[in-house]
Amino acid sequence: MTATAPAPPRRGIRPGHVLRCAADRVRIELLQYFRRSDALVFTFLFPVLLFAIFASAFGALPPMIELEGQQVTQPQYYLPAMLAAGVFLSGVQNLGIEIAVERNDGTLQRLAATPLPVLSYFLGKLGQLLVTSLAQAGLLLAVAVGVFGIELPTEPERWLTLAWVFFAALICFAVLGVVIAQIPRTVNSASAVVIPLALLLQFISGIYLAFPALPEWLQTIANLFPLAWVGHGMRYALLPDIGRYMEVGEAWNLPMVALVLGIWAVVGTVVAAVTFRWIRRS
């Protein structure tokens, strides 16, 4: 900087800035994610660990349902639940805590002082979520098949359903993570605010407790939120058809999955876009 050649003429911001910055944000987000041991244990590996525990503990129990030559075992039932939990934890819980911490520890204010577009920041978070959730889902399926001998469906239609429910859940939980990150006011309260809310929703949405075991009024409340529907969609994709006898109305309801996730995603995006600011201007 001293005694170097005169600075070249200044350039303006070139087209494609948003996407170039977003690509570099994804890189930065992933670097940070895999260095944070709490994210690795409580977000990335958590559903896999829980699945291993559930599958080992309840593996010897009789099937939850047996009919028409098909059966749904306990480990089978928990696989879609843990897939849903994985996207939910990575989206709502981890992004929620991350953004809340970054808001309150000065990171966002530092970014606000740069030409980084807000959209690039979010695309970076979304990219992180996409990569980590896919890796997590892959690991979970590998453990389920490799360690616990669970059979996965062979019909392409089931896999297609798994894919769209997974991506719809990802978008939905990403924007809800952004929204929930507005609540905590300090770095220290971020986890304390986000985790109980996330835990409560998981308990009433058939993630840790089997959905049919819940009272009807609780199911009704849970069905107002997207998580129970993600679980429903994933059970459709991964369980034999008789699994529907354990669902509300004893039927699969994929249009409702699409509708509820769609509404939450749209409302969440609008609320996130309206409320998110780099800094609270005063």
Partner 1 sequence: MQHAPAVVADGLTKRYGARTVVDDVSFEIAEGEAFALLGPNGAGKSTTVEMLEGFRVPTSGTARVLGADPQRADRDWRSRIGVVLQPTGQAGALTVREMLTHLARVFPNARDVDETIEAVGLAEHASRRIGSRSGGQQRRVDVALGIIGRPEVLFLDEPTTGFDPQARRAFWQLIRDVAADGTTILLTTHYLEEAEQLAHRAGIIADGRLLALDEVDRIGGAESRTPVVRWTDASGRHEVRTREPASVVRSLPGEPTDLEVIRPSLEDVYLSLIGAVEAEEAAA
Residue of 13, 213, 224, 270 that binds partner 1 (CB under 8 A): 13
Q: Which stretch binds partner 1 (CB under 8 A): 18-26, 41-49, 164-172, 240-248?
A: 18-26
Does 279 interact with partner 1 (rule: CB under 8 A)? yes
CB of 17 to partner 1, least distance (A): 7
First to last CA, the chain: 36
Contact yes or no for 89/198 (Cβ under 8 A): yes
CB of 85 to partner 1, least distance (A): 25
CB of 9 to partner 1, least distance (A): 9
Give the CA angle between residues 174, 178, 180 to the nearest 5°. 110
CB of 133 to partner 1, least distance (A): 20
Does 196 interact with partner 1 (rule: CB under 8 A)? no
* Residue 147 phi, psi dihedral angles, 5° rounding: -95, -40
CA atoms within 13 A on the CB side of 161: 24
Q: What residues from 109 to 138 belong to the interface with partner 1 (CB under 8 A)?
A: 109-110, 112-117
CB of 33 to partner 1, least distance (A): 9
The DSSP secondary-structure symbol of 92 reads: I
- Rg of the chain over all Cα atoms, to the nearest angstrom: 21
Does 32 interact with partner 1 (rule: CB under 8 A)? yes
CA atoms within 13 A on the CB side of 253: 16
**Nearer residue to partner 1 within complex by CB, 33 or 229:** 33
List contacts with partner 1 (CB under 8 A).
1-2, 7-8, 10-14, 17, 20-21, 24-25, 27-28, 31-32, 35-36, 101-102, 105-107, 109-110, 112-117, 279, 281-282
